[in-house]
Amino acid sequence: MHSSVKKLFDAVANDYDRQRKQLIPCFDEFYGMAVSLVESINPSPSILDLGAGTGLFSSMVLQKYPTSQITLVDLSEKMLEGARARFHPLDNIQYVVGDYTNLNFPQSYDIVISSLSIHHLTHTAKRQLFSTVYQSLHDGGIFVNADQVAGHNSQNDDYYKRRWLAHINESGLTEESINASVERRKLDINAKLGDQINWMEQAGFHDVDCMYKHFDFAVFYGRK
């Protein structure tokens, strides 16, 4: 799974940010809600971004907490190159190239964030990751996951896909970009909303909820 995901994302690294706005019908609300949920009593919170890519989500969080310490983790060195260019010459950003399902995080964090990454994991790996995230948070720390979800049944999934395809076909993307995006989404292993809430609660999280949903795009929240 990981090598195929890595290959596809390496290939789009340069255009990723520009395209993402066109590929996500609810881009402003989706990221807007995710950023609004990133709250800390610590004015310089330690933040871990899982599947950080080019640092898009982290860059929004950094505007809110300019002195935060952020660690970006991603499988794709090429995506993280985009992040290094974005955050140069800041010294409060760290970069880790690797598979976040296998990493041991040496410290605890105030906040763990992720966007459009965890849905690439098997359901078993998602559950394990939620436990790892819980362990890696300080007491009172929060987890904000802006990700894709499966519909409650296959008819809903078909409907979500139809609406998404209609959107991207009108988005101004080239046919090549659209086809590449459709190919990438074949690797998605979306989990149902209710299952993800249950898995987060089983991992130990409190106040778990889906705070925003637009078809198959959802923002999850939990507190340690």
pLDDT top residue among 12 and 16 = 16
- Asked if the model's pLDDT at residue 14 lies above 70, the reply is no
- Asked if the model's pLDDT at residue 10 lies above 80, the reply is no
pLDDT tens by residue, 180-198 = 999 999 999 999 999 999 9
pLDDT tens by residue, 30-68 = 999 999 999 999 999 999 999 999 999 999 999 999 999
Nearest C-alpha neighbor of 195 from the set 144, 122, 86, 135: 122
pLDDT at residue 1, rounded to an integer: 47
Taking only Cα atoms into account, the Rg of the chain, rounded to an integer number of angstroms, comes to: 17
State the pairing for strand pair 137-148/217-223: antiparallel
- The domain spans of the chain are 2-223
Answer yes or no: are the C-beta atoms of 212 and 219 closer than 8 Å: yes
Q: What is the CATH number of domain 2-223?
A: 3.40.50.150
- Asked if the model's pLDDT at residue 199 lies above 70, the reply is yes
Please give the Cα distance from 116 to 114 (Å, whole number): 7
- What pTM did the predictor assign? 0.93
Residues 6 or more apart in contact with residue 206 via CB below 8 angstroms? 222, 223, 224
Q: What helix, strand, coil percent values describe the chain, rounded to 5? A: 50, 25, 30
pLDDT top residue among 1 and 158 = 158
pLDDT tens by residue, 165-183 = 999 999 999 999 999 999 9
